[in-house]
């Protein structure tokens, strides 16, 4: 089978780290690069975290630093209260001595898709500013990308930073609108699907036992994350949001998928809201008929997903579990 050639656009981030660990561990993913963005932390901190995580996981991949602020609006505060002061749940890992490549994230995405047209899967798990900037510089990038899987938005459920908005989209709604209006194949993993999966403290304790290096790091970071979830929403465990955008590439069959057009509210009290119009649903406003059709992931087999994630990180087949 051909491996998925993946670039993760990321603001690490605890659940970002869970996604990066999954990309490295999964036999069907070839992690080409991490492009960094502001969001959970500043873009400089994102870049340092990306480099340090790759070193910790023993993975060779490029890192390209991205945009420092949203396209139009004033920057929002970073999410240190969710992810810890260093973005990694306040778990210290050795700082990398390596540096990012000379290209910006947007330039890197453009160049890599020229090198490998039709082969690159971009997985965007932070604000979408780098992708929007790449579209501005070279609109033809949309023709060269295999897929753009995005963790973001809330379709049929409330947001997590406002009554209607999810954090990644809210952090740069103008960028999200550009990405959703482009003709590349977008797959959206919104809160509708991500919040269906809660990984418990027992899950991480077992993962730490199964993999004392990667599992222990994820378990240590998850403790901080779980404290946030417990105080914020009474959940016993944490939600691996970003992994679900990436796992669409490897286990698409566990998701309920719906085609339709996506748009983002860029002003007013609904700023950052993601709007979805299912394919075939008529509207009076002709705009919806003119927009590209994308995919929204709206439900998931949560038990299968959790078992699959565990097996991938622990590098064991399901038949080995319990031996």
Active site residues: 11, 241
Tell me the two tokens of residue 260: 């339709």
Rounded to whole angstroms, the Cα distance separating 39 from 124 reads 12
Strands 29-36 and 4-10: parallel
Q: Which helix (H) or strand (E) holds 180?
A: helix 173-181
Distances (CA, A) of 12 to 20, 34, 233, 303: 9, 10, 22, 25
CA terminus-to-terminus distance, the chain = 28
Q: Which helix (H) or strand (E) holds 294?
A: strand 294-300
Rounded to whole angstroms, the Cα distance separating 36 from 43 reads 6
Beta carbons of 100 and 10 less than 8 angstroms apart: no
Q: Which helix (H) or strand (E) holds 56?
A: helix 43-57
Strands lying side by side in the sheet with 145-151: 62-65, 29-36, 4-10, 120-124, 145-151, 186-189, 294-300, 255-264, 274-278
- Select from 97, 98, 141, 137 the least CA-distant residue to 7: 141
Strands 294-300 and 186-189: parallel
């Amino acid at each position: 089978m051909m491996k998925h050639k993946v670039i993760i656009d990321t603001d690490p981030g605890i659940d970002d780290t869970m996604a990066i660990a999954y990309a490295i561990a999964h036999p069907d993913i070839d992690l080409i690069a991490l492009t960094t963005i502001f969001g959970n932390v500043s873009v400089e901190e994102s870049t340092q975290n990306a480099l340090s995580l790759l070193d910790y996981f023993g993975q060779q991949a490029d890192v390209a630093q991205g945009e420092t602020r949203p396209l139009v609006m004033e920057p929002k505060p970073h999410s240190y209260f969710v992810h810890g002061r260093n973005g990694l749940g306040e778990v210290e890992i050795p700082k990398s001595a390596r540096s990012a490549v000379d290209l910006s994230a947007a330039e890197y995405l453009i160049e890599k898709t020229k090198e490998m047209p039709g082969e690159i899967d971009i997985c965007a798990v932070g604000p979408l500013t780098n992708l929007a900037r790449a579209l501005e510089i070279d609109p033809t990038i949309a023709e060269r990308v295999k897929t753009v899987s995005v963790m973001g938005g809330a379709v049929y459920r409330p947001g997590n930073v406002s009554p209607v908005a999810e954090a990644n989209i809210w952090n740069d709604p103008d960028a999200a609108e550009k990405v959703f209006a482009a003709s590349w194949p977008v797959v959206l993993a919104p809160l509708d699907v991500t919040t269906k999966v809660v990984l418990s403290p027992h899950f991480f304790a077992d993962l730490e036992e199964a993999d004392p290096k990667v599992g222990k790091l994820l378990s240590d970071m998850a403790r901080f994350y779980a404290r946030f979830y417990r105080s914020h929403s009474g959940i016993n465990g944490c939600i691996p949001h970003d992994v679900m955008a990436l796992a669409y590439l490897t286990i698409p069959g566990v998701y309920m998928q719906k085609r339709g057009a996506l748009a983002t509210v860029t002003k007013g009290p609904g700023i950052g809201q993601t709007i979805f119009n299912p394919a075939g649903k008529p509207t009076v406003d002709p705009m919806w008929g003119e927009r590209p059709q994308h995919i929204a992931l709206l439900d998931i087999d949560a038990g299968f997903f959790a078992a699959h994630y565990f097996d991938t990180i622990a590098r064991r087949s399901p038949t080995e579990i319990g031996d």
